[in-house]
Structure 1
Amino acid sequence: MANVVQDHISKPASENAVNVVAPLTFIVPQAEKPALYHTAYTGGAPDFRFAVEEHEVLVADLRPHADAFTLDKEGFAFRTAPTDVADLYDDNAVETAYYDEIRSLLTREYGASHVAVFDATRRSDSGNGASNKDGNRGPASRIHVDYTAKSGPQRARDVLGAEEFDRLLKSGARIVQVNVWRPIRGPVQRSPLALADATSVEAADMIATDQVFPDRVGEIYHLSHNKDQRWYYVPEMTRDEALLIKGWDSLEDGRAQFTPHSAFPLPTQTDDTPARESIEVRTFVVIE
C-alpha cells in the first residue's frame, strides 16, 4: 500500500471546513490494457485483470466553495434540489416522478432542449447492498469515470438512436453525460463520494479499462495516482441535496470532459455508523 498525503487544495479553506485525510483506491498502471470480467461472464466472482493501491489523500470540504464549482470547469456541481418522491426504493416512482424531477433540474442547469434518462442505480454499504432490478449493489470503491472518449459517444448513440445522434452532432448540438447523485437517507456519515477536480487530472492519469460482459465489451476509466490531483466531498450530505457529475462531453474545447469519483471511508465512521444509501441517475443532456 502506498501512502501519499496531499498538502494543497484548489481554493482557500474555510475555518469551518471539514477536511479529511482518507484512503482512496487507485489503479496501478500496467503494460497491457486492464480488464474487468463481470459475474455474468465468469459465472462466479468478478475477475479483475489489474492491481489497485491505496493512497492517503486530502479530501477537502466542498461546502465552502460550492457556488464556485461548475460542471464545465471542475466537472461537478453541488445543488440544493429537494425531491417530492417519498420512497426512492419504489421503481415506478423513480422511473416516473423522480425522472421528471431530474429532467427539470438538468434542463434548468444547462438550458437543455432534451434530457434523456437511461439508468438509475441504488447503492448501500450496509453489507447486503441496495436493491435494484438487476440485484443489490454496494458503493463503487475504485476511483473511476463511467465513460471514456470511446464509450461515451457509443452509449449516447445507443440511448438517443444512431440517426438522432448523428443529426445532433452534424447540426452543432452538444451532448453531455451527467449523473445526478443523491442520498436516499441523510445525513451521509459513512462512505461518501469523493470527486476529483477535473482541472487537476492529467489525461495520462486516466486508464481505459475494458468491462467484459457475455454479449459486449464496455469501457470505463480507472484513475492512477498523481500527487497533484485535488479531491472534494460534501460532509453530512442530506436527501435534499444532489451532486451533478459529468461523465462525458461531446465538446473538446478544454472544458471538463470526465470526472473521476469514488466512495471512500471517513476517519470517523464505525461499524455502528448508519449505512450510506444513495441513488444515482444517468442522463444525456442535449443542448441545441
Structure 2
Amino acid sequence: MAGNGVDIEETARTTQANLNYLLPGPDINRRFVSAGVEVNTGRYGPYPMTIRDGRTIKEHFRFDRHGFQLLDAPTAITDFHDKVEVEAKYQDEVRDYVKQALGADFVVAQGWMLRTSGAIPKKEKGPDGDGKPYRHYGGLQPAAGEVHIDTEPGRQQAYAQRMYDKARPGGPGFKRFIMTSFWRAFSPPPQDCPLAVCDAGSVRDDEGTPNVLWVVDKIPEGEAMFAPMDDDAQLAAAIFRHNPDHRWWYFSGMARDEALLFKFHDSDRSVGWRVPHTAFWDESFPDEAKIRESIECRTIAFFE
C-alpha cells in the first residue's frame, strides 16, 4: 500500500460533494418504490464529504479490505434499453464475472435495474398497462439519492439460506456467502452523477438503521406512509447517519466495458464486509459531464 513512505491512497485526486445521510426523524423508516419513483419516510440531509478518485490506482483496491473493486468486464449487450436482450444475456454475463472475481463455487443472479440521472419518461412512471402489480425489476429508476446499503444485516442469513435451497436443493450447504452489486455505467463518460462507494474499513459494525422495503403499485401519502404494516416480514436496507470517518471513493469516467463490483453483505465479518454507497453530483468536469445511465445486477455468491 505504501511506497517511499507515501500512502498511495493519498495520491488520488479528490473532489467535494454533498452526500445525503439520515437525519433525526420518525422512528418508522420505510422505502416505498414504484415505477419510476422511490420515496423514503426518513429525513435526509446533505453533508459535505471528500470523495477520492480511484481511477489512477484502480489496481490497489481489494474486496476483502475495501469491499469493492473496479473490474474489466466487456459486455455483449448492444442496447441496455432493450429489455428482451438484457433479460436473455446479461445475468449470465454477471454470474460469470462475479464467480471469477470472488472465486465462489456458484453465483445466483437476482435481477437487474436501470438507473438514470436524467428525466424518466412518463411511460416508465405509470403502470405497465397489463394489469399486473409493479415488480421492482428490469425497469428504469432514478439514481440513488442517500447513503445506504441494500441489505440489512439481521435478515441476510435466512434470506441466503432460502436462495441456496432454491438454487441447490439437496446441496452440501455453504460456509460463506457474499451479496454484491455489479454496477455498470453505459452512457458516455464522464458521467454527471456517478456512484460513490465507502471503504468498508471505515464503517463500524454497529452503524446502520433498518429501512424496510415496500414495493407498491402507488406510493402512499401522508400518514398512510406510517400506517401499521408487517415490516418484519419484508426485506430491508441499511441507512446511515453521518460519520466523518467514512472514506469515500469513486472511479471517474467509467467506460461501458468496466463494472464496479461491491459488497452488500459478506457473512465473513473478519474482512471488509459491507459497502455503503450513494450517487453524487460530480462537479469535476462541468463542461463535459453527460447524463449517467447505468445498470445494476445483484448477486449472491456461495462458497460450499
Q: Write out per-residue CA displacement over residues 206-237 of structure 1, whole angstroms, 9 at most, x where no aligned residue.
A: 22222234685221011111111100011111
| Equivalent runs, 1:74-113 vs 2, <5 Å | 74-113=66-105
Alignment-derived partner of residue 302 in structure 2: 286
SS of 1:155 mapped into structure 2: helix
The TM-score normalised by the length of structure 2 is: 0.79
- Structure 2 partner of 1:63: 55
- Distance in 2 between the 1:141 and 1:12 partners? 26
Secondary structure of residue in 2 paired with 1:275: coil
Match of 2:290 in 1: 274
The percentage of counterpart residues that share the same residue type is: 27
Q: Deviations over 1:35-61 (max 9, x none)?
A: 234459xxxx86633211101110001
Q: Secondary structure at the match of 1:73?
A: helix
Partner of 1:159: 163
Amino acid at match of 2:165: G
Structure 2 counterpart SS, 1:203 = coil
Work out the CA distance in 2 between the residues paired with 1:69 and 1:100: 25
Residue 165 (structure 1) shift? 8.3
Shift in CA distance, 138/37, structure 1 to aligned 2, threshold 3 Å: closer
- Contact kept? 1:143, 1:222, Cα under 8 Å: yes
Aligned equivalents of 2:104, 2:9: Cα separation in 1: 33
Q: Who is 1:248 aligned against?
A: 265
Number of aligned residues: 271
3-state SS of paired residue (2:302):
strand
Amino acid at match of 1:274: K
Report the Cα distance in structure 2 between the residues aligned to 1:124 and 1:267, rounded to whole angstroms: 17
What 5-or-longer segments of structure 2 have no aligned partner? 1-6, 125-135, 217-229
Out of 119, 135, 142, the position equivalent to 1:127 is: 119
1:160-199 mapped onto 2 (5 Å cutoff): 160-161=164-165, 164=168, 171-199=173-201
Give 1:63 shift: 1.7
Map residues 17-96 of structure 1 onto 2, 5 A cutoff: 17-29=12-24, 32-39=27-34, 48-96=40-88
| 2:273 alignment counterpart | 257
Name the CA distance, whole Å, in 1 between partners of 2:180 and 2:38: 27
What runs of 5+ residues in structure 1 fail to find an aligned partner?
1-9
Cα pair distance change 1:33/1:71, threshold 3 Å: farther
Query: Aligned in 2, Cα 1:192/1:135: closer, same or farther, shift over 3 Å?
Result: same
Asked if 1 retains the 8 angstrom alpha-carbon contact of 2:181 and 2:298, the reply is yes
SS in 2 for 1:115: strand
| In structure 2, C-alpha distance between the alignment counterparts of 1:19 and 1:185, rounded to whole Å | 23
**Given that residues 190 and 289 in structure 2 are in contact (C-alpha distance below 8 angstroms), is that contact kept between their aligned partners in structure 1?**
no
Separation in 2, partners of 1:182, 1:257: 21
Q: Would you say the 8 A contact 1:205–1:226 is kept in 2?
A: no
CA RMSD of aligned residues (A): 2.9
SS at 2:206 equivalent: helix
Q: How does 1:114-153 map to 2 (within 5 A)?
A: 114-128=106-120, 135-153=139-157
Q: Give distance in 1, aligned partners of 2:178 and 2:246.
A: 23
Partner letter of residue 277 of structure 1? E
Task: State the alpha-carbon separation in 2 of the partners of residues 104 and 47 from structure 1.
Answer: 33
Could you say if the C-alpha distance between residues 172 and 39 of structure 1 is closer, same or farther in structure 2, counting changes exceeding 3 Å? closer
User: Could you say if the C-alpha distance between residues 244 and 134 of structure 1 is closer, same or farther in structure 2, counting changes exceeding 3 Å?
Assistant: closer
Deviation at 1:202, TM superposition (A): 1.6
Instruction: Give the Cα separation in 1 of the matches to 2:25 and 2:170.
Output: 35
- SS of the residue corresponding to residue 12 of structure 1 reads helix
Task: Show the counterpart of 1:12.
Answer: 9
Structure 1 residues 120, 205: CA separation in 2 closer, same or farther (over 3 Å shift)? same
